Structure 1
Amino acid sequence: MISGRLLNQYDMPVALGITHLAAVAFLLNSSEAMPTWVASYAYFFAVSCILLCRIFQPPKGFLSGIAVAAVMATVIRSINQSSTNLHGPGVDFPLGLMGAGAGAIAALIYSKSNNGSVIASGFAIGCAGTLGGYLLSMFFACNTVLYCGPAFSWGF
């Protein structure tokens, strides 16, 4: 188990390890519900976000939070795809990843401006911001212009 002290010291390797292991697991288990392009989009999104956020010196654990949120977004996308009969690749997942990127940037700005007075854990900030941006983007896109399946669309 990775403790808080180890996460403070090894945030970048842990984040890259989570991202690489998840990408390999998703690519080895590709199916109709989880095509390879979904795993590759999530992989490149997570690596790009981790490297770009690293420039701005995020709080410790923030990068691992982004990696876990990217894995969770991919799992949510595959569960939603397997529960409906949508045909072909859609633009829902790339739109969701754009929202996740915006959420990661907003969480990074929040963590830099807050100085740790409210939430001390960078992991929680990174994960909540990235996953929150993904879900908000998906709910907005899937209820205005797209039908993304039963998990995000309210039948409009």
Structure 2
Amino acid sequence: MINGRLLKQYDIPLALGITHLTTAAFLLNSGEFLPSWVTSYSYFTALTSIVFCLIFNPHKGFLAGLALGFAMTVIIRAINMSLVSLHGPGVDYLLGLMGAVVGTVAVLIYSKVKPSQTIENGFALGCTGALGGYLLSMFFACNTVLYCGPAFSWGF
């Protein structure tokens, strides 16, 4: 049986594995609906967030949840681009990634104030921070300034 110290030890390799494998899979399948820059921006943002979070010694499972959250942002972007023909620089995705970083920092601060001891709580916090920040940023930007397709813009 794996104890808490081993789970903490395998959190970093799991997070890096998720990040690298999803990046490789999406880069191999890049095309019209998922350009390669989307995956590379997500990859470097996820790696930067993982290294930043390592400085603050997050709870067990936090980094794996964070990596999965950033992988989900690429999937959401690919689905949104397949629904509508968006041609342009992709400013909406960059704004969404900035929101994911802010959400990650907010959840990291919350996890330090209110500590959780289980790997499930750490995983859920990491995933919620990245995805929640991404989605909030996308909904705000796409309903005020940009048109980002039917998934985020409500008829504007």
Task: Tell me if TM exceeds 0.5.
Answer: yes
Q: Which residue of 2 aligns with 1:77?
A: 77
Gaps of 5+ in 2: none
Mapped to 2, the partners of 1:15 and 1:86 lie a distance apart of 31
Gaps of 5+ in 1: none
Matched pairs, number: 155
Q: Which residue of 1 aligns with 2:67?
A: 67
Matches within 5 A, 1:117-128: 121-128=121-128
Q: Does 2:153 correspond to 1:150? A: no
Q: Which residue of 1 aligns with 2:43?
A: 43
Change (3 A) 1:6 1:84: farther
Matches within 5 A, 1:88-107: 88-107=88-107
Q: TM-score, normalised by structure 2?
A: 0.93
Q: TM-score, normalised by structure 1?
A: 0.93
- Give percent identity, aligned residues only: 66
Q: Which residue of 1 aligns with 2:29?
A: 29
User: What is the CA deviation profile of residues 72-126 of structure 1, one whole-angstrom value per residue up to 9, with x for unaligned ones?
Assistant: 0100001000100111332011100000000000000000000228x96100001
Q: Runs of at least 4 residues of structure 1 off by over 4 A?
A: 2-6
What secondary structure, in the 3-state scheme, does the structure 1 residue paired with 2:38 have?
A: helix
Mapped to 2, the partners of 1:7 and 1:142 lie a distance apart of 39
Query: Is the CA contact (8 Å cut-off) linking 1:7 and 1:14 kept in structure 2?
Result: no
Mapped to 1, the partners of 2:31 and 2:146 lie a distance apart of 23
